[in-house]
Amino acid sequence: MENVENKTYNKESGFGTTPVYLTAISTILGAILFLRFGYATGMLGLIGVIFIIILGHAITIPTAFAISEISTNTRVEGGGEYFIISRSFGLKIGSTIGIALYVSQAISVAFYIIAFTEAFEPLFEWWKRKFEFELPRQVISVPALCFLSYIILKKGTGLGMKLLYIVNAILILSLLFFFIGKPITENASGNVVIDNMKFLNKDSFFVIFAICFPAFTGITAGVGLSGDLRNPAKSIPAGTIAGTFTGLIVYLLVVWKLAISAPAGDLVGNQLIMSKIAVWGAIIIPIGLASCTFSSAIGSIIVAPRTLQAIALDKSFPVRRINDFLAYGKGKTREPINSYIVTFLIALVFVIMGNVNAVAGIISMFFLISYGTLCLISFLNHFGAPPSYRPRFKSKWYISLGGFLLSVWVMFRIDSLYTVLSYAVIVVLYLIVEHYNKDQKGLVNIFKGSIFQLNRRLQVYMQKNHSGLDDEEWRPAAICISQNSFEREKVLELMKWISHKHGFGTYFHYIEGYYSKQTYIESRKIFAQLIAQRERGNSLYIDTMISPSYTSAIAQVIQSPSISGMENNMVIFEYDKNNTDELVRILENINLVKSGEFDICILGSSNFPVKYRNGIHVWTRAVDEKNTNLMILLGYIILSHPDWNKSYIKIFNISPAGKEKETKKDLEERIATGRLPVTLTNIEIVTFVENQTTGESIVEHSKYAGLTIIGFREEIIKHNPLTFFDDFGGIGDVLFVNASTSRNIN
């Protein structure tokens, strides 16, 4: 995990574990608890609300564990969740999720201020009775937001922390008075009427879950103070986990008390039903609601600007002036003044909207994305097992994976359209961030460790269980070595075609010389050039090979293991058809390669461009039976590449006179049995003409082919091979094929 300095960290503030806990618990035991748990209990019944609490904590507890784990592995500095995500997934992903997280935190300020206004419900009712019109909620919420922002701007985080102690004391007192309160409905015999203990209205479960989920989002509120903590590795796990389990216990007790204290009708119809149950409820519950919502707003307005400031300090925004403006910090503690102002303006917009449920739905989506991401980080670190991941607090991989999957599943169950739109926003944000931050780590870094582990385990498994692939499972695992990577690209194209869909290819650029620091540096430069010029979608694996001779290089290459998990089974050479010396060097090493039972392909490159529309011509002969199926299979594999999208395979067979029908029937059966995309009209029998060489027949029919595939036998290598290979100078690119054994085309 990357540990990058972040200037928002300042240990002079010196906060310990208690502020983390208080910030979390005051947000957990907040607006939803007072305003929506009664409604949820009335709508779903006690069992239904317990399921909501369990499901919510099935997401938040793995998230709390993930945060605790990550924060004890690296020093968590300013930015809280953003810092964790960005230093785990890189700044591109971190900035993308961080921006979405910041927006949800800023909206949370508005949410809590709107909920704070509900504490003044008696005032609004009195006004309506007195003056016969409804007073807009904004007459309380807008001044409250302005007052809160003024306090934080003028007095800073320190005053906010002091207020948290006061409001949490009031919160505890109001809950105590609620628990000692009596049921509000009794029948004639004096017994409590209980009509909401079952699971009711199951179809509305996820709608109500979305409304209630912000109640669970307080678990990460304290993480946002990371830059102001003396020891984040200690305070974040302790405060976060303690707050999470405190919330779980209080939630279960509150819904149980609600269920046994009021009928469903009263619970649904009165959002301040707790005030009817609690001792002195008309006074103490509105005060408790006002205190907890105001404290939650304090926590959000302290955390959100710090997230924004941390994003700006990483220069994630496309305009430098924006980054400089938002990153500005005042004083020794670097209070994010400008980020406070931006947060205030965003919150003000949503406060003016004034709808608690609508705002709650938006918050739920973006918090679920953030929580899922944090759980995914933990899981990938467990699965990828990087040596640098050594947290002092350890969760389990299946807990983190469960938290991630639940987050995604719940989002779709709440609202599929909102989920798709939320992820669409994330994608757009990523593309913008990626465009302006090309030098930062991106998507490739997310799964690097996990892919490494998966690849390692698959290769070990395949090696352990390898008993020789059946003929019907054969696919090329080709290796190629060449010095001419930048002079001639056709062999790279051939390797690309082979490795696109059905096969695997490894290309080695050969550097002649002894292994030394100088040749190593040269190899790295060449490697970087080859990677840079490889187009997107190319599945060819590229490397370099330093060796004192061509023969020793081939010996090294054919003994090298394949990273595909299967053994290499094909060696591809290439030469310029106008340079006989290159061909001679290849032919001198054929027997070396044949010792390893490899299939051998030799590409004779011409100076003509590849004419894809003219098709792939495969030439077969009765005396070349062992190579026939491999040539046809290679034609099919090459044809699957998009370069050959509008092309075709045409099969020719040079047949002795009188055996044309028999030969054509045999080829048609091969094609039908092998289910190959070769039409019968693309099978042509060429009658052997006396005094005409094989090369002359092939040149006559395949002069303009995109690629011509021809077989060659071992006997040709032993008896004047140059005569055979030079016989095809009149056509374009030729792929000569020699199979180690006959392949099954079924």
Whether 227 and 79 have beta carbons less than 8 Å apart is answered as yes
Cα–Cα dist 10/432, whole Å:
31
Give the residue among 125, 112, 134 at the shortest CA–CA distance from 35. Answer: 112
Same domain assignment for residues 219 and 103: yes
pLDDT at 388: 62
Does residue 457 lie within any of the structural domains? Answer: no
What CATH number should be reported for the domain holding residue 732?
A: 3.40.50.620
Range of the domain at 713: 606-746
Same domain assignment for residues 589 and 637: no
Whether 605 and 577 have beta carbons less than 8 Å apart is answered as yes
Average pLDDT estimate for 640-645? 88
Structure token digits, residue 259: 């269920």
Cα–Cα dist 648/618, whole Å:
11
What CATH number should be reported for the domain holding residue 588?
A: 3.40.50
pLDDT at 9: 42
Domain boundary among 412, 445, 478: 445
pLDDT at 402: 92
Q: Which of residues 525 and 715 earns the better pLDDT score? A: 525
Does residue 452 lie within any of the structural domains? Answer: no
* Strand, helix or coil for residue 229: strand
Number of structural domains in the chain = 3
Residue 741 has pLDDT above 90, yes or no: no
Cα–Cα dist 399/453, whole Å:
19
Average pLDDT estimate for 660-677? 70
Same domain assignment for residues 288 and 377: yes
**Distances in whole angstroms, Cα of residue 112 to Cα of each of 20, 23, 31, 34, 74:** 19, 14, 7, 12, 32
Same domain assignment for residues 568 and 612: no
Cα–Cα dist 4/8, whole Å:
12
Lowest mean pLDDT among 193-202, 541-550, 669-678, 708-717: 669-678
229 bridge partner residues: 15
Does residue 462 lie within any of the structural domains? Answer: no
Residue 445 has pLDDT above 60, yes or no: no
Cα–Cα dist 103/121, whole Å:
28
Whether 112 and 149 have beta carbons less than 8 Å apart is answered as no
pLDDT at 554: 92
Q: How does strand 649-655 pair with strand 616-621?
A: parallel
Same domain assignment for residues 642 and 681: yes
Cα–Cα dist 63/223, whole Å:
12
pLDDT at 574: 92
**Distances in whole angstroms, Cα of residue 263 to Cα of each of 59, 183, 191, 274:** 30, 9, 13, 12
Using pLDDT thresholds of 50, 70 and 90, give the confidence band for residue 188. Answer: very low
Whether 70 and 94 have beta carbons less than 8 Å apart is answered as no
Lowest mean pLDDT among 432-441, 485-494, 593-602, 606-615: 432-441
Same domain assignment for residues 265 and 250: yes
Same domain assignment for residues 610 and 505: no
Average pLDDT estimate for 380-404? 79
Cα–Cα dist 616/630, whole Å:
14
Cα–Cα dist 552/513, whole Å:
11
Structure token digits, residue 174: 């109001």
Same domain assignment for residues 574 and 614: no
Cα–Cα dist 74/89, whole Å:
14
Residue 3 has pLDDT above 50, yes or no: no
Same domain assignment for residues 593 and 618: no
pLDDT at 11: 46
pLDDT at 695: 79
686 bridge partner residues: 654
**Using alpha carbons only, what angle is made at residue 664 by residues 661 and 666, rounded to the nearest 5 degrees?**
110
pLDDT at 129: 85
CA 284 to chain centre: 47
Q: Which of residues 563 and 488 earns the better pLDDT score? A: 488
Does residue 6 lie within any of the structural domains? Answer: no
pLDDT at 568: 87
Cα–Cα dist 380/377, whole Å:
5
Whether 248 and 256 have beta carbons less than 8 Å apart is answered as no
- Token pair 């792939």 is found at 616
Using pLDDT thresholds of 50, 70 and 90, give the confidence band for residue 470. Answer: very low
pLDDT at 182: 85
Task: Supply the mean pLDDT for the chain.
Answer: 80
- Token pair 């190959």 is found at 676
Same domain assignment for residues 622 and 587: no
Residue 192 has pLDDT above 60, yes or no: no
Residue 552 has pLDDT above 60, yes or no: yes
Maximum average pLDDT range among 232-241, 414-423, 494-503, 518-527? 518-527
Question: What's the DSSP call for residue 594?
Answer: H
Question: What's the DSSP call for residue 567?
Answer: -
Domain boundary among 556, 584, 601: 601
CA 224 to chain centre: 24
H or E segment and range at residue 456: helix 448-464
Residue 515 has pLDDT above 80, yes or no: yes
Q: How does strand 649-655 pair with strand 683-687?
A: parallel
Does residue 464 lie within any of the structural domains? Answer: no
Structure token digits, residue 588: 């001198």
Cα–Cα dist 584/642, whole Å:
34
Same domain assignment for residues 233 and 332: yes
- Token pair 């590849």 is found at 610
Does residue 450 lie within any of the structural domains? Answer: no
Cα–Cα dist 105/301, whole Å:
8
Question: How many other C-beta atoms lie within 10 A of the C-beta of residue 727?
Answer: 15
Question: How many other C-beta atoms lie within 10 A of the C-beta of residue 594?
Answer: 16
Domain boundary among 557, 574, 601: 601
Using pLDDT thresholds of 50, 70 and 90, give the confidence band for residue 626. Answer: confident
Per-residue three-class SS string for 40-97 = HHHHHHHHHHHHHHHHHHHHHHHHHHHHHHHHCCCCCCCCCHHHHHHHHHCHHHHHHH
Does residue 151 lie within any of the structural domains? Answer: yes
Q: Which residues make Cβ contacts (< 8 Å) with residue 565, sequence separation at least 6?
A: 455, 458, 459, 462, 463
Using pLDDT thresholds of 50, 70 and 90, give the confidence band for residue 193. Answer: low
**Distances in whole angstroms, Cα of residue 590 to Cα of each of 246, 578, 602, 717:** 74, 20, 10, 8
Average pLDDT estimate for 42-71? 87
Average pLDDT estimate for 194-211? 79
Structure token digits, residue 380: 């990938």
Cα–Cα dist 60/82, whole Å:
17
Cα–Cα dist 272/36, whole Å:
9
Residue 128 has pLDDT above 70, yes or no: yes
In Å, the largest CA–CA distance within the chain is: 119
* Strand, helix or coil for residue 330: strand
Give the residue among 548, 427, 554 at the shortest CA–CA distance from 480. Answer: 554
H or E segment and range at residue 321: helix 320-327
Does residue 387 lie within any of the structural domains? Answer: yes
| Count of alpha carbons within 13 angstroms of residue 606, beta-carbon side | 20
Same domain assignment for residues 208 and 157: yes
384-401 CB burial, b ≥16 within 10 A, e <16? beeeebebebebeeebbb
Q: How many helices (H) and strands (E) does the chain have?
A: 28, 10
Determine phi and psi for 439, rounding to 5 degrees: -85, -5
Question: How many other C-beta atoms lie within 10 A of the C-beta of residue 257?
Answer: 21
Structure token digits, residue 436: 């302006």
